[in-house]
Homo-oligomer: A and B are copies of this chain.
Amino acid sequence: MNSVRYSYPQLKTFCIDAFGKFGFSPEEAEKITDVLLLSDLYGIESHGMQRLVRYHKGIEKGLIHVRAKPEVVFETPVSAVIDGHDGMGQLIAIRAMGLAIEKAQRTGMAVVSVRNSNHFGIAGYYAKMACDAGLVGFAMTNSEAIMVPTYARLAMLGSNPIAVSMPAAPYPFLFDASTTVVTRGKLEIYNKLSKPLPEGWALDENGNACTDAERVLKNIVAKAGGGIMPLGGSTEQSGGHKGYGYGMLCEIFCSVFSGGTTSNHTHVGGKGGTCHGFMAIDPAVFGDPAEMRERFSAFLQELRDAPKAEGQPRIYTHGEKEILAYADRMQNGIDVNINTVAEMKNLCDYLGMDSVKYLGDVDLSAAKQSSYK
């Protein structure tokens, strides 16, 4: 037994109660849960229940301040800077994107940049917030440094995801991806399986290509050099300087606009300091939004209908896999990895919650110890 299947309502109850126990209000706990579970529903396991232990440790270590409230420290009709005061990333980000949406609805477009926050889950959640309001949404975040810039040997940028969402039929466009080749979560999976990494993913402490996941992960934690390659790899021939450039674009909207810490200075010396960036654009500032939606939907359909590569059954548009996963998991439940269930049980014990009531009487003998440091 490598996973346990739970229904969405079951995980929701567990998650809301757990964050309530941490000291968040019921409304706050529901917001955090909504972000985390959308990730599991979308099939992005790395950012859902699997991250609970990270938030747990973050609160315990004092990186995440449960009672902190985000504060608008600078504002114009089209912009704001928010200081998160080291609060929970999801709460700060929902507030920030909400403000960007409000402003864009009045002025046409707005950017909100955030400093002193924490990990906010999937960037796509916030881009989708704008999309759900009929706008084009953009969400970005920096993170602990894991990306090694072209020709460097030390990680200087974060995974720095950029998410973009725009209304379309039958489902919206939702692009959400790190500007590195892969995220750290992928390396953790290879490490758990003791599998060598694919070529073109990671670098060792000397800046040379490396397929040893354990070595790379240890080096990242120790800030000993090496890390993950930018999208495009480690050379200009394969376009690595472009992934590095998108990482910089993300940094501009997050740490530079907000006056916060760039990725190379976050999670240094016991401090967090994650920064986010959000943008919302009302399509009505370019004409009739319904017509635009129709044209855009037609283009997405053309992409899906394009001739397939030999042996490939399907071309996806961005967000389509997530929509399919969501429908499946809402109906059939969410498979949670046995190691993650073990972490959830530990969390129950830590918070004084009845684990059998929340998670069932699960045989956890197959679970390995958490690799979280």
Contacts and interface: CB of A to CB of B under 8 A. Distances in A.
Interface string A93-133: 00000000000000111110100000000000000000000
Interface of A: 74, 76-79, 81, 107-111, 113, 136, 148-154, 156, 162, 164, 166, 173, 175, 177-179, 181-182, 198, 200, 203, 206-208, 225, 231-234, 237-239, 241-246, 248-249, 251-252, 255-259, 262, 264, 281, 283, 285-287, 291-292, 295-296, 299, 302-303, 306-310, 312, 314-318
Interface of A is mostly: mixed
B206 A109 contact: no
Contacts of A233: 238
Nearest to A234: B309
A224 B214 CA distance: 45
B249 A164 contact: yes
B238 A259 contact: no
Given A108-B78, A111-B281, A239 B181 contact: yes
A79 B152 CA distance: 40
Contacts of A242: 177-179, 231
B286 A81 contact: yes
Contacts of A256: 166, 292, 295-296, 299
A108 to B, nearest CB: 4
Contacts of A153: 306-310
The 10 closest A-B pairs by CB, nearest first: A207-B309, A79-B285, A175-B245, A151-B312, A78-B108, A177-B242, A257-B286, A152-B306, A206-B310, A153-B309
Contact of A259 (B78, B110, B264, B291): B291
Contact of A156 (B151, B252, B287, B302): B302
A310 to B, nearest CB: 5
B151 A241 contact: no
A271 to B, nearest CB: 17
Given A208-B310, A248-B318, A256-B296, 15 more contacts: A109-B110, A149-B306, A152-B308, A154-B306, A177-B241, A178-B242, A179-B242, A181-B238, A181-B239, A200-B238, A231-B232, A231-B242, A244-B318, A245-B318, A259-B287
A252 B264 CA distance: 31
Given A113-B286, A285-B111, A287-B259, A303 B164 contact: no
